[in-house]
Structure 1
C-alpha cells in the first residue's frame, strides 16, 4: 500500500511539474511575441514612405534600394556573431539590447527628415537597425527552441515568428496612412515610441533560457555550416529575395505605374495596406503551418505545400488587372511565405544539437538577409529596364527551386525526404 501511494504521489508531482512547465513555456513565448510585435513597427514604417521620398529628397532609385537593404547587409555580418553570442552568454541580455538598439535606430528616421543629408542619416539608422535586429532574431528563435519539445516546436516557432511579423504590417499601415493623414515625422515618432517600449517590456518579462556547459568555448565569429543549416538557409535566402526583397521594394511603384488605388488612398498608403494584407496572411499561417507540422509529425510535406501556394501567388501577381486580383495575389504570397516559416525554423531546430542552435539560427538569418538585401538592389533597377512582369515571373520560380533544395538537403542529412520530427541532428 505504501509503494502504491508513493507512486501516486510521484505521478501527481510529475503532472504538477508538467503543468508548470507548460505555463512557463507559454508565458515566455508570449513575452517574446509582445516585445517583438511592438519593435516591428519600425521595420515596416519605411517601406511605404521611402520609395516615394526618393524623388522628393533627391535620392536615386538605386540608393533608395541600398537604404532599404542596408539593415539586411549589416545583419549578414552581425547574424553569425549574434548567434555565437547567444550560445556563449545566453539569450536575455542580447534580446533586451537588440530591442533597445532598434528603438534608437527608429529615432534616426526623424533626424533624417530634418537633415540636409537625409540619405546619410537613413543609412546610419538602417545600420543600427540591422545590428539590433540581428540580436533580436537570433535570441527570439533560440528562446522558442529552448522552451519547446519536438511535439511543440513547430507551434512555438510559428507563434513567435508570427508575433514578430505582425508588428511589421502595423508599421506598414502606420507608415502609409499616418504619413498621409498627418506627417512622415509623426509616423516615425510613433514607431520609435513603440520600439523603445518593447525593450522595457522585455527587461521586465524575459528570463534567461539558454545555458550551455560549452559556452566558454564558443568564438564570436563561429558559424554553423552543417547540412541542415545550409539547406534551411538557402530556402530562406530564396524566399526572402522574392518576398521581402523584390515584392516589398517594388509594390508602391507597381501601383503608381498601373493607377491602382486601395480604399481611395495614393500609392504610399495603398502599398502599405497591401503589404499589411500580405504580412497578416503570413502571420496567420506561420502559426497554422507550425501546428500542422507538429500534428503530422513531419515538416517537409507542409513546407512543400506552402511553397506551391507562394508560386501560385506570384503567378497571379503577373496577370492581376484589378485591386481584387492584387489582394488575392498578396494573400496567396503571404500565405505561402508564412506557412513555410514555422515548420522551416522548427526543422532546423529538430536537426541541430541544442548547444549549436544559437549559431544555426544566426547562420540561417545570414542567408535570409543576403536574399532580402539583394532583392531591392536587383529588382528596383530591373523593373525600370524590363518591367514588372518579368521580375515577378522570376520570383514565382524561386519557391519551386527552394523546394528542390529542401528535398535534396533533408535527404542527405537524414536518408529520407520526409523524416519524422523525432529525428535529431
Structure 2
C-alpha cells in the first residue's frame, strides 16, 4: 500500500522499527543527565566523556564478530539477544545511582581482616579503596555503557541486514532509511525522558522508565521478527574482532560514518547541555538538562524525517551519490550555524540542519553499501561501517569535552563543520575507485533480485 509516495514497509521491518524504538530510550536517556550529574557526583569531564563513549569503544571489538555471526547463523537470535542485553544495561544506570556513599563503607572496611603484614598489607585502607571503587557511580555507569555496547553491536548488524534481505535496488534506500529511523527515533524519546522526567521526578525515575521500555523491546522482537538471513553453511569462517570487511565500499561508507558521528555525537550531543548553561539558553523555563533533551530530540526528529526523504529520493534517482553529497553540505551548514548560535532560534535552526544532514545521508549511505556488497558479506560490511562510526562517536566526547574547556565552544563547532565536506571527498574517491564512475546506479554490484528474494523468503 502506498501513501504520500511511500510504500508501506514489510511487517517484519515494522517489528524491527518498534523494537529499536523502545530500546532507543536507554541510549538517549543518559545524555541530558550525565554531563550535569558529573559535577554532582565528582566525576571529571574526561571521565564523563569516557562513560558516554564507552559503548562505542566496546563495539569496536564487538561489531565485526556480530556481523560474522549474522552471516553464519542468521539475524533473529542475535537481534533478540542484543535487545535484551541493552535492556539489562539500562538497569545499570539505576544501580549506579542506588550505590551508597563511599564514606559509609569505612566501618565495613575496618571490620575486614588484614591479610598480610608489611608494606603489602591488605588492611582497612586497602579494603576501603577497593570497596569505594566498587560502589562508585562512575563504575556502574561505565559497566552499563559497556554492556550497552555489546547489545547494540548485535542490534545494528542485524537490523540493517534484515532491511537488505527484504529489499531490492528500487526499495533499498527507503527501507534502510526506515530502519535507521526506527533505531534513532527512540533516541529523542530517551533525550526528552532524560531531560524532562529527571527534572520533574528525578534521575532514578527517568532511568527506571527507560529500562522498562528497553526490556519490552526484546519481547516485541521475540514475538514478531522471523529469520530473514540464510546464506548457507559458513561454519569455517572466523569470528574475530579484527575480521572486518576491508572491501572499498565498506571502508568508504565507514569513513563517511566516522566523520559524521564524530561531529554529531562528539560536538553536539556530548556538549550541548554545557553550551546551554554557558549561554543561558532555556526552553519553557527548563534547566539545561531539560532544555538539552528537547533540542537534541528535535535534532533527531529532523534526522528521522530526512532519513525517509533521503532514502526515498535515492531510490527514485539513477544514482545515490548526488543526494548523499547534498545532505553532507546541509550538515556542513548546520555546524557553521551552531558555531554562531546564541539564541533559542539560532540554536534550533542549527539543530534542524545538523539533524537533516545526519539523517539524509543515513538511508542512501547504507543502501549504497548494500548495492555494492554481496548478500553473503552484508553482515560483515555492516559491522565495518559500525566499527568506523563508533571510532568517530567514541573519540568525539573524549576530544571535544576537554578541548571545549580549553578553547571554548565556537572553535570546536567550526572545526567540526569541515568533517562533512571531508566525508564527501572520501565518498567520491571510494565510489569512483570501486565502480569507475562518480554516479553508480542501483544495480552496481547487485547479485540479482532472485537471489535476494530467496534469502528473504526462507
TM range (shorter): over 0.9
Q: Does structure 1 retain, via aligned residues, the 8 Å contact 2:9–2:175?
A: no
SS of 1:410's equivalent in the other structure is: helix
Partners of 2:9 and 2:310 lie apart in 1 by: 20
Partners of 1:368 and 1:337 lie apart in 2 by: 12
**Greater helix share, 1 or 2?**
1
1:79 to 2:63 alignment:
yes
Alignment match of 1:55 (pick from 18, 39, 44): 39
Partners of 1:160 and 1:350 lie apart in 2 by: 16
Partners of 1:397 and 1:55 lie apart in 2 by: 31
Q: What residue number does 2:213 align with?
A: 194
What are the ranges of 5 or more consecutive residues in structure 1 without an aligned counterpart? 1-22
Q: Does structure 2 retain, via aligned residues, the 8 Å contact 1:214–1:355?
A: no
Length-normalised TM-score, structure 2:
0.87
Q: What residue number does 1:248 align with?
A: 269
Alignment match of 1:181 (pick from 188, 195, 200): 200
SS of 2:381's equivalent in the other structure is: helix
| TM superposition outliers: structure 1 runs of 4+ over 6 Å | none
Cα deviation for residue 263 of structure 1 reads 1.7
1:169 to 2:153 alignment:
no
Bigger CA drift: 108-117 or 322-331?
Answer: 108-117
Alignment match of 1:119 (pick from 110, 120, 138): 138
Q: What residue number does 1:417 align with?
A: 438
Q: What residue number does 1:345 align with?
A: 366
- The alignment yields a C-alpha RMSD, in angstroms, of 1.2
Partners of 2:400 and 2:316 lie apart in 1 by: 38
SS of 2:167's equivalent in the other structure is: coil
What are the ranges of 5 or more consecutive residues in structure 2 without an aligned counterpart? 1-6, 100-134, 447-458
Cα deviation for residue 259 of structure 1 reads 0.6
Alignment match of 2:27 (pick from 43, 61, 70): 43
Alignment of 1:145-164 (within 5 A): 145-164=164-183
* Greater Rg by CA: 2
Q: What residue number does 2:330 align with?
A: 309
Q: Does structure 1 retain, via aligned residues, the 8 Å contact 2:22–2:217?
A: yes
Cα deviation for residue 418 of structure 1 reads 1.0
1:362 to 2:362 alignment:
no
Deviation track 1:298-328 (CA, whole Å, cap 9, x = no partner) reads: 1110000000000001001111121000000
Aligned length: 404
Partners of 2:284 and 2:176 lie apart in 1 by: 34
Cα deviation for residue 246 of structure 1 reads 1.9
Partners of 1:297 and 1:159 lie apart in 2 by: 20
Alignment match of 2:278 (pick from 233, 257, 262): 257
Partners of 2:11 and 2:145 lie apart in 1 by: 31
